[in-house]
Chain A
Amino acid sequence: MTELRLQRLPDGQYCLSGIDEGWEHILTSVPALLAEPQPPSVRERLLPNPTTNEAANRDWRELVAPELEALWRSNYETMAEDLARMEDDPDQRDCCRVFFPENHAAAWLSAINQARLVLGSRWDVTEEDMNRPLHKLTTHERDHDIFLIRLLEHVEVLFIKADETWPRKPA
């Protein structure tokens, strides 16, 4: 796989480049994964009960959870729409690049982080799993998804570091 790069351009846009066939498959799998109906274990992790009070938890599920789910849906749809505009990179053979506006970066970060959590919750991934050397992962489906979580970690860190590096607008 090639090295992904995330740059902020002088006009404020972002450019994610170095997207080879492998990365393209991984990136496009994020919105697809999040659009699937999630099993209860995943929903419980993404939308945990906030209190020990059942009435308060019920209110939370009725009022807050749908709002959060709508926001998350909007985030992965934004990522999918941006990825649909992916183009060949004239500067890197067999690779693509994608441009997207500055205010889409938070949506990408949210979608990537959520995809990692969804995979982790599906397989009840532990700290130990996350620390296993990559070469010790097998071809089993669970290990495949742990490998995907680790690859997406790399993309997520690009977005976090870019956010740290870029000048912050005054509040």
Chain B
Amino acid sequence: MGTEIHISCPGCLRVCAAATVVEPGVIETVTEKTKGDLAKPWNVVVQNDPINLTIYVTMVFQKVFGYPRQKAELLMMEVHTRGRAVVWTGGREPAEHYVRVLQQYHLWAILEQAEP
């Protein structure tokens, strides 16, 4: 007996076994965009602005993420020279939290879905 396996089963977001018979030995994957999107990682992006000081941005990255100074400075330089940097990647809820905290520090922070 084959079992249909919904990889993104609505309501549970985990592999579960449904009772539908497909073919012996066949695993059918069903993707639901909405649920799948929730499971994808999110990027916290900081964009450059001409006013915030480099030393200030470095300090904020250290305080908010607990990054060592060297990593914080590298990210700050990426923001400064490239205009933006992904400073953290992970689940949607913590990403939203970090954007809120970075905006609290007046950084130009936004949320983007990470590329697969």
Contacts and interface: CB of A to CB of B under 8 A. Distances in A.
A127 B50 contact: yes
A129 B55 CA distance: 19
Given A68-B100, A68-B103, A50 B111 contact: yes
Nearest to A125: B50
A68 B108 CA distance: 14
A137 B92 CA distance: 45
Interface residues of B, number: 20
A169 to B, nearest CB: 13
Chain B at the A interface: SS class: mixed
A126 to B, nearest CB: 6
A35 B87 CA distance: 32
A68 B100 CA distance: 8
A45 interface: yes
3 pairs of A and B residues whose beta carbons are closest in the complex: A120-B51, A127-B50, A50-B111
Contacts of B50: 120, 125-127, 129-130
A46 B104 CA distance: 9
18 contacts: A50-B99, A50-B109, A51-B110, A51-B111, A64-B103, A68-B100, A68-B104, A110-B106, A113-B56, A117-B49, A117-B51, A117-B52, A127-B50, A130-B50, A130-B51, A156-B53, A160-B55, A161-B55
B59 interface: yes
B103 A113 contact: no
A149 B59 contact: no
Contacts of B104: 68, 71
Contacts of B49: 45, 117, 120
Contact of A149 (B51, B106, B108): B51
B53 A153 contact: yes
A130 B110 CA distance: 24
A88 to B, nearest CB: 31
B110 A117 contact: no
A120 B104 CA distance: 17
A80 B108 CA distance: 26
Interface in B4-62: 49-53, 55-56, 59
Given A68-B100, A68-B103, A48 B108 contact: yes
Contact of B56 (A68, A71, A156): A156
